[in-house]
Amino acid sequence: MLLTIVAFIVALGILIAVHEYGHYRVAVACGVKVLRFSV
């Protein structure tokens, strides 16, 4: 049970990081100056 919860949290964290990286890439592609990338 604990392993399932930990795996879910890790997977969710990875998905969120990839999603936010997508925002970063689109901003850069549109010419927006990005000073910092964080999740």
36 backbone dihedrals φ, ψ, rounded to 5°? -155, 140
CB 20 within 8 A of CB 39: yes
Identify the active-site residue in 12, 14, 18, 20: 20
20 catalytic per annotation: yes
CB 28 within 8 A of CB 22: no
Catalytic residues: 20
